[in-house]
Amino acid sequence: MIQLQTILKVADNSGAKTARCIKVLGGFKKRIAKLGDTIVVSIQTLRNKSKKTSKVKKGQVYKALIVRTRLSNTKNTGLCLKFKDNAIILLNKQGNPVGTRILGPLLRTFQKKTFQKFTTLAAGLI
Mind listing the domains of the chain with CATH numbers?
7-100 (2.40.150.20)
- Residue pair 7/20 in contact (Cβ under 8 Å)? The answer is yes
C-alpha to C-alpha distance for 33 and 2, rounded to whole angstroms: 5
| pLDDT per residue rounded down to tens, the chain (126 residues) | 899 999 999 999 999 999 999 999 998 999 999 999 999 999 999 987 666 778 999 999 999 999 999 998 888 888 888 899 999 999 999 999 999 999 998 888 888 767 888 888 888 888
Single pTM value for the model:
0.91
Distances (CA, A) of 101 to 10, 79, 97, 105, 118: 11, 27, 9, 11, 9
Structure confidence at residue 76 (pLDDT): 84
CA atoms within 13 A on the CB side of 106: 27
